[in-house]
Amino acid sequence: MIKVINCKNWCEENITPMAWPRVVLRVVPELRKKGYSVKEMENPTDSVMVDEATFKLFNNALNEIYEMEIPQTVAV
């Protein structure tokens, strides 16, 4: 499982503070299918975790928008 807050923090530090909300909005339909809310993903607490497939969704969105990916080392 992957901590969402780590992904969000990486985006804010390495891209722009608006990068994470853009990523979340790009994958809203998939997140809702998995039972996550937009609010939960945009402002995750330290306990919000996602599986590898959801992490890949985030990276696919990041790649489409910024041509970047969150390093696997950040996901732990």
Residue identified by tokens 């599986």 is 51
* Count of structural domains within the chain: 1
User: Distance between CA atoms of 17 and 49, rounded to whole angstroms?
Assistant: 20
Looking at residue 54, its pLDDT comes to: 96
- Position 75 scores a pLDDT of 74
In which element (H, E) is residue 49 found?
Answer: strand 49-50
Structural domain span for residue 19:
2-75
Q: What is the pTM of this model?
A: 0.91
Q: What is the pLDDT along the chain (76 residues), one digit of tens a residue?
A: 999 999 999 999 999 999 999 999 999 999 999 999 999 999 999 999 999 999 999 999 999 999 999 998 987 7
Q: Are 2 and 41 in contact (CB under 8 A)?
A: no
